[in-house]
Structures are given as C-alpha cells and as structure tokens.
Amino acid sequence: MAVRRRSKAARLAKRAGLGLSVLALVSPAAFVFLWMLSLSLKNEVDNMAFPPVFVPHPPTFANFVKVFAENDFLRYTVNSCIVSFSATALALAIGVPAGYGIAKARAARAAMLILIARITPGLSYLIPLFLLFQWLGLLGTLTPIVITHLVITVPIVVWVMIGFFEGLPRELEEAALVDGATIWQAFRHVALPLARPGVTVATILAFIFSWNNFLFGIVLAGRTTRTLPVAVYNVLTFEQVSWGPLAAAALVVTAPVLLLTLLAQKEIVAGLTAGGVKGG
Amino acid sequence: MAEALTRATGAARAAAGRRAHYRRRYWAFALPAAAIVLAVIVFPWLFTLYMSVHEWEPSGGALFMGLGNYLKLAADARFAWAILRTLYFAALAVAAPVILGVAAALAFNERFPLRGLARTVFILPMMATPVAIALVWSMMFHPQLGVLNYLLSALGLPPASWTYSADTVIPTLALVETWQWTPLVMLIVLGGLASLPRDPYEAALLDGAGAWQTFRHITLPLIWPFIVVAGVIRTIDALKSFDVIYVITQGGPGTASETINIFLYQQAFAYYHLGYAGAVTVVFFILIIAVSLVLLAMRQRAKWQ
C-alpha cells in the first residue's frame, strides 16, 4: 500500500517535472512573438516606458497604418508574393521530375551535389550572379531575385521528393510499364498522384524559405524591387528610434509564415524530420 | 513445373534488364534541374575560382594576379580574427542547441495535454522570418529600455550589456541562434526517438533500471546517429550564419562580431574588392567542407566502435 502511494507520488512528481520543462522550453519562443505583438500595438510613449508596459492599453493600430502609409509596403508585399510564388512554382516544375529521376536511377552522386549546394554559403553564389545580372542589364527588375531564389527552392524540392519517391513501392509503376505505358506516363499517372503528400511538404518548405530570404534581396533589389525582409531592414536603418512601427513591420513580414506554420505544422514537421532541409 | 520455373526466372531477368534500361532513361527527368543547377550553382563556383585569382577594376577589367589574393588574405589579421570569431560563435551555437534540442525531443516524446500546440509554438522561431525576429531581439537587447534588462532586474540580477559590448556580443548572438535553431535539432532527434524499438525498454524495466540509466545506456546510444546528423547540420548553418548577425550588429561594435560571412559581405558589397572576396569565398568553402568531413568521420568512428 505504502509502496503504491510512493510510486503514485513519484509519478506525480514526474508529471510536474515534465510540465515545468515543457513550460521552460516553450516560453522563450512564445515570449518573443508576444513581445513583438505587444510592441506593435502600443503607442510610442508606452514603448519607451521603463519599467516596460506589457499589455497594450488601449491597443492601437496606428503603427500598422504608419508602416503602410510611410513606406511602400503594399508594393513590397506584391514583390515578395511574385518572387516566392514564382520561385516555388518553377522549383516544383523542374524539381519534382528531377527528384523522381534521381530516385529511380539511384543516382547517389546527383543527390550529393544537392547536399553540397545546401552546404555552400549563399554569398558565394551571389557575387558571380550579381556580376552576371549586371552584365545582362537585369539589375533593378524582379527576374534576378526569382532566379537566385531557385538556389534555395530547387534543392529543397529535389531533396524532399527523392525521399518520397524512394519510399513508393515500385511494383505499381512496373505494372504500368508492362502494360505498355511510357516512363513519363508511369510518372505522371502512377508515381505523381501517390507522392502528392511529398509535393505538399516540398511546396510549403520551399515557399517559406524563399519568403524568409534576406541575403539575395539585399544585394540584388533596387528601390522598387525590394522584398519584404529587405524592406523591413530598411525601416530599421531609417527609423531606429521608433519601436512601434518597426515591430509592426516585422509582424507584417513574418505573419504569413507563422500562419502557414500553424496551419501546416504536421507537413512541416514531416518534411524537416525527413531531411533537415533549410534554405540559405 | 520446371517449365513454369524457367519462365518465371526468364520473366524476372527480363524485368531486371528492363529496369537497367529504364535507369538510364530516367536521367531525362533530371535534365531541366541539371540545367538550372549548372547555371545558378556550378557556374558561380567556377566563376568564383576564376575571380579569386584576379584583381577586379571598378571599370570592369580583370587583372590576373595568381595567388596574390590568397597571400594577401593569409596576412590579413582582420580575416584571421574573423575565422576565430566564427569558430567561437559556432562552438556556442552548436553546443547549446544540440543539448537543449535533445532535452526538448525527450520532453515532446512524452504524452501530455496540448502537446501539439506546444510543439507548434516551439518550432515557430525556426520558421519565422529571421530579419523580423532579429529586429525584435535587437529592441529587447536595448541596455536602458530593453525588456531583457528589466526581466534581469526583476530577478535581482545586474543588467547585461548584450550586443553593446565587445565581450558579450558573440555569446548574445549565439543565444539568438540557439533560440532560433534548437527546434530543428528537436525535430531530427524526435524522428529518431519515434523509430526506437520497445524491447530494450521492457527488459530494462524488468531489470529495475532507473530513468537516468535507461537514458544513458539505451536511449542515448540508439539516438546518437540522429544527434550527430543534427550536430553536423547545425555546425554548417552556424558557420554560415548571416541574417541575424547582420541585422542586429552588422559585425559591430567595431568588428567584435565580424564573422567570415560578414567579412565576405563587406569585402564584396561595401568595398567591391571582388577578387579578394572570391578568395575569401574559396577559403570559407574549404573550411566548411573540412569541418563537415571531420564531423562525419567522427560519426563513422562512433559507428565502428
């Protein structure tokens, strides 16, 4: 009896310990985002107060209005959408078949090339491409930004798709080939529908890491072709003193990604656990 | 019977032959991607090599100078400091996320209420736009008005100078990097934990092993390969970290947080020393490959033992 009571107490202590460690792990993540929200909803007096004001009272949307009124944020949002959607769509169009081909041909060396691309610092692609685009007269348009974003999106898509196509049973496609289908038809009508979850994962990850990219934009973007991360950085350099608009701008940039993460967390977890992919 | 067998093996051989034949034809699927990889990945590598042995004139001319850029680089104390700083930063920004990430994976492997929500919040830092979170952290680091020094004083601790002093800037940036990338380690190790067999645990329970013993002698050896993979990925990313450092300090105060990547950016796009930047890129790339190979070799040795 006494033993059972002690083990019950031990189990309770273990639950409490687990609860506390989860709280300790999650609260820094939650705090930074809540603080960003708090800064963006407070007026300048409250933001500069010490001790800090935690809960905006009353909350104000003036910072968001200011960001869109004083900077051309609408244009930058459109730029970011064009760049990330095009870079993701192009990467899917060429990366999904490539993942299939590499998985089927079991080309380990091609997979290795993708890995080396993942290891290389983004800046080392950027200097030669910058010179190339300058020579082609493309600087100041969105084209070079979309093209450089392929450096991020193509390896992600190919890498995720190799994993998914390798996991498919090959009997189905072989049956189709025996029945006289071409390999393109076997890919298009047998393998691709089965790998749809993989395509979803690849799309989400490619889009997020393209959206988040800062480095390529800061070098290649002109005044009118800034993507959102670059635009936010520019707000920082010009308005270092006012925190409200800064936090509001930061929130505008990252909100779509946070929303996507909340909605598709299962797919994101699956994709990242599989390959440890990350852009940049 | 025998006839059926011959026919079956004949069919199998035909299938194998067909597979080998198709294996070659599957290359066609990778051709468009190969073209893109050549244009935006391989071409820059080769061009960087070419660039690194030239002096680039602002007017556009290139002057061959052999290994001149590399010799200049070897004598550049600012670059030597950047390498040391990068290694210091990487050591912190690998060790902390790996230890915390393993702990987090063990916690998230248990069942508890609201686990899905907690895990989603936990991975938000790695999905959020780095520029945006770097901005928020830089406001939190403000020595007088920042919320972090307020929290320290509320706990009865003295205020810290965070990114505003040369002594604390690297650990502070490593703190942000840890906050951001611990979730990736957690996800990789969690994948490992999900694949663990149940039998050793039942045996250990029967033998009366404690929680720590079970972890030390069963769980840790089984998830070690996943920890190594996470460690290698983390090392590569820490060595080439850019966004957070550039947005928060731009390499400052002075050059106290100027890592190789920041040094490279300054040489290329602030001073337009493109040939010199090419040489930096080549050395940087070799450093990253060398560190990854050392880590992978360690993994091999761990496997053999």
Q: What CATH number is attached to the domain comprising B134?
A: 1.10.3720.10
Question: Mind listing the pLDDT tens digit for each residue in B143-160?
Answer: 888 899 999 999 999 988
pLDDT of residue A24: 93
Do A217 and A168 belong to one domain? yes
Taking the Cβ of residue A154 and every Cβ of chain B, the question of whether any pair is shorter than 8 Å is answered with: yes
Question: CA of A109 to nearest chain B CA: how many angstroms apart?
Answer: 13
Contacts of B183 in chain A (CB under 8 A): 29
Q: Which domain holds residue A9?
A: 2-40
- Contact flag B25-A183 (C-beta cutoff 8 Å): yes
The yes-or-no verdict on residue B305 having pLDDT over 50 is no
A101 to chain B, minimum CA–CA distance in Å? 5
Q: Which residue has the higher pLDDT, B286 or B20?
A: B286
At residue B299, the pLDDT reads: 66
Same domain, A103 and A199: yes
A257 close contact with B: CB closer than 8 A? yes
- Identify the pLDDT of residue B90: 96
Check CB contact under 8 Å for B292 and A265: no
Of the candidates B38, B37, B22, B29, the residue with the CA atom closest to the CA atom of residue A93:
B29
Q: Which of B22, B124, B187 sits opposite A261 (nearest CB)?
A: B124
Percent of chain B beyond pLDDT 70? 89
Please check whether residue B265 lies inside any domain of the structure: yes
Which domain CATH number covers A209? 1.10.3720.10
Number of domains in chain A: 2
For residue A52, list chain B residues with Cβ-Cβ distance below 8 A: 145, 147, 150
Which pLDDT value is given to residue B9? Answer: 56
Per-window interface: B 221-240 vs A, CB < 8 A: 229-230, 233, 236-237, 240
Give residue-wise pLDDT tens across range A105-153.
877 777 777 777 778 888 888 888 888 898 898 888 999 999 999 988 9
Given pLDDT bands bounded at 50, 70 and 90, which one contains residue A47? Answer: confident
Q: Is residue B31 part of a domain?
A: no
Four-point Cα dihedral B266, B270, B271, B274, nearest 10: 70
Are residues A215 and A181 part of one domain? yes
| Residue tagged 């925190």 (tokens) | A243
| Distance separating alpha carbons of residues A170 and A16, to the nearest angstrom | 48
Residue B80: pLDDT over 60: yes
Say whether pLDDT at B10 is over 60. no
Q: What does each C-alpha distance from B51 to A91, A128, A138, B280 come to in angstroms?
A: 29, 8, 21, 11
Does A26 lie in the same domain as A160?
A: no
Structure tokens at A18: 């687990």
Hey, what's the torsion of the CAs at A134, A139, A145, A147, to 10 degrees? -50
Counting other chains too, the contacts that A168-171 makes at CB distance below 8 Å and 24 or more residues apart are A168/A194, A168/A195
Same-domain check for residues A106 and A31:
no
Is residue A52 included in any domain, yes or no?
A: no
In a domain, B55, yes or no: no
- Is residue A280 predicted with pLDDT exceeding 80? no
Structure confidence at residue B238 as a pLDDT band (50, 70, 90)? very high
Instruction: Please indicate whether, in this complex, the C-beta atoms of B233 and A278 are within 8 angstroms of each other.
Output: yes
Instruction: Read off the tokens for B283.
Output: 């050395």
Residue B159: phi and psi, rounded to 5, are -65, 150
Residue B46 lies in a domain: no
> Which residue of A96, A114, A120 to mutate against B (max B Cβ within 10 Å)?
A120
Question: Which range, of A248-252, B4-8, B39-43, B187-191, averages the lowest pLDDT?
Answer: B4-8
> Residue A1 pLDDT > 90, yes or no?
no
Mean predicted lDDT score pLDDT of chain B: 86
Compute the C-alpha angle B271/B275/B279, nearest 5°. 110
Tell me what pLDDT residue B181 has: 95
**Within-domain flag for B2:** no
Secondary structure of residue B155 in the 3-state scheme = coil
More confident residue, A268 or A252: A252
Q: Which of B139, B191, B247 sits opposite A243 (nearest CB)?
A: B139
Query: For residue A84, which amino acid is it?
Result: S
**Domain extent for B212:** 78-304
Q: Could you report the per-residue pLDDT of A200-227, keeping only the tens digit for each?
A: 999 999 999 999 999 999 989 888 899 9
Rounded Cα distance between B79 and B246, Å, is 17
Q: Inspect the interface and report whether the beta carbons of A25 and B243 lie closer than 8 Å.
A: no
Please tell me which of the candidates A33, A36, A278 has its beta carbon nearest to residue B237: A278
Same domain, A108 and A206: yes
CB atoms closer than 10 angstroms to residue A27: 13
For position A238, what pLDDT does the model report?
65
Q: In the structure, what pLDDT confidence band is assigned to residue A28 with cuts at 50, 70 and 90?
A: very high
Average pLDDT over residues A247-251: 93
- Say yes or no to pLDDT of B13 above 70: no
* Contact list, B286 vs chain A (CB under 8 Å): none
Q: What is the pLDDT of residue A50?
A: 78
Residues A150-189: pLDDT tens digits? Answer: 988 998 899 889 888 888 887 888 888 888 888 888 899 9
In B, residues 73-112, which contact A (CB 8 Å cutoff)? 100, 103-104, 107-108, 110, 112
Q: Report yes or no: B285 at the A interface, CB cutoff 8 Å.
A: yes
CB neighbourhood size of B273 (10 A): 18
Q: With a CB-CB cutoff of 8 Å, which residues 34-63 of chain B face chain A? A: 34, 36-37, 40-41, 43-45, 47-48, 51
Statement: residue B14 has pLDDT above 70 = no
What does the pLDDT read at residue B104? 95
CB of B130 within 8 Å of any CB in chain A? yes
In chain A, which residue's Cα lies nearest the Cα of B34?
Answer: A98
Q: Which two tokens stand for residue A124?
A: 């080392």
Q: What is the mean pLDDT of chain A?
A: 86
Residue B58 has pLDDT above 50, yes or no: yes
Number of domains in chain B: 1
Name the residue among B110, B136, B277 with its Cβ closest to that of A127. Answer: B277
CB pairs under 8 A between A and B: 257
pLDDT above 90 (res A27): yes
Ramachandran region of residue B57, left (φ > 0), alpha (ψ -120 to 50) or beta? beta
